[in-house]
Structure 1
Amino acid sequence: MSEPIQNENVESNVADAADIAAAAAATEEFTNTIGDAIATSAEEETAEAAPVVLDGPIQTVGRRKRAIVRVRVVAGSGQFKCNGRTLEEYFPNKLHQQLIKAPLVLLGRENQFDIVANLTGGGPTGQAGAFRLAIARALNAYNPAERGVLKKAGFLTRDARAVERKKAGLHKARRAPQYSKR
């Protein structure tokens, strides 16, 4: 009696193996068709992601600390207007001027765009940082292919540091009243 049971087990094992092989082949075929569909959609996306030349001005906003800067970038000769004044008049500090021009210098486009900016709030350092962010965002919108260069240099990252609020029971944000033992 043990012989026929063995034969039945062997036959069922062979049938199971055939079923597994058929299922594997069907799965592989399904995976291949899905992979082909994904590959063609990826090719279409890369073809659509080519840089587009924008006709009108590029408008972006940059913020840092309490400063907000609205920038309008147009093809031109490299002139800056900050609230109706030149960059040198508005930011007499050379470090601020250098900070603002850094994204343009990095990409080698110093004399390619005219930039008009409306600056509000904050002080000179906050406004300069917000101005730099707005220019970097405009350059990214102009040519998305250069995003990696701007991102690696840190120009597209908004500096989230701001003044910490004053807390009740303290003199300032963290300064506690002087401790008195008695």
Structure 2
Amino acid sequence: MSAEEKARAEAEAEERARLDAELTSDGAEDAPVAPKPAKLSSDARYQATGKRKSSVARVLLTPGKGKIEVNERTLEEYFPRPYLQTIAKQALVQAGYEGNVDVSVRVHGGGISGQASAVRHGIARALTEVNPDLRTELKRRGMLTRDARVKERRKAGLKKARKRPQFSKR
């Protein structure tokens, strides 16, 4: 390997490391959207519906201390994996309402991953009712967009949605 090739490989490795560090340590996406959350009146109730795949989540936001209840269980009980808990709470955390509102969710259909995303979608929609100024930032971060990807149906003559039976020439 010549000196020029070594230098190029080294520069590529440095650039890759810099990009990786930028992507992983960029706190802009996790930073709260609003500098301080809007005050809620004590009798305020905000409802919204979130969907993902075949999961539907009906969300109710009320002023409180940050308690999140999913199907009458705590968030940690219903979504035991920390990754799913993070997804479900993502809209609250990024909007800065994490400890200011109680969230009650009724979710049904689909699997737990789809349900967690449906909860996030519903919470984001409810937060836009609380504070309409959050809408542009939550939309930019993709939390208000309904993810339309669903399982493709199986077609007649095929084994699965697109998989064909094995072809034999002879």
TM-score normalised by length of structure 2 = 0.74
Of residues 114, 121, 124, the one that matches 2:112 is 124
Of residues 80, 88, 93, the one that matches 1:92 is 80
CA distance in 1 between partners of 2:111 and 2:125 (Å): 21
Q: Give the equivalent residue in structure 2 for 1:77.
A: 65
Cα RMSD of the aligned pairs, angstroms, is 1.6
1:136 partner amino acid: A
1:99-158 C-alpha deviation (Å, 9 max, x unpaired): 111111112110011011111010010000000000000000111011111011110001
Structure 1: unaligned runs, 5 residues or longer: 1-50
CA distance in 1 between partners of 2:130 and 2:138 (Å): 12
CA distance in 1 between partners of 2:39 and 2:93 (Å): 22
**Is it true that 1:133 corresponds to 2:121 in the alignment?**
yes
2:96 partner amino acid: G
Structure 2: unaligned runs, 5 residues or longer: 1-37
After TM superposition, list the pairs within 5 Å mapping 1:1-182 onto structure 2.
55-182=43-170
Counting aligned pairs with the same residue, the percent is: 48
Give the paired residue count: 132
CA distance in 2 between partners of 1:139 and 1:114 (Å): 12
CA contact (8 A) 2:40 2:63 kept: no
CA contact (8 A) 1:52 1:143 kept: no
CA distance in 1 between partners of 2:86 and 2:39 (Å): 29
TM-score normalised by length of structure 1 = 0.70
Cα gap change, 1:165/1:138 in structure 2, threshold over 3 Å: closer, same or farther?
Answer: same
Higher Cα radius of gyration: 1
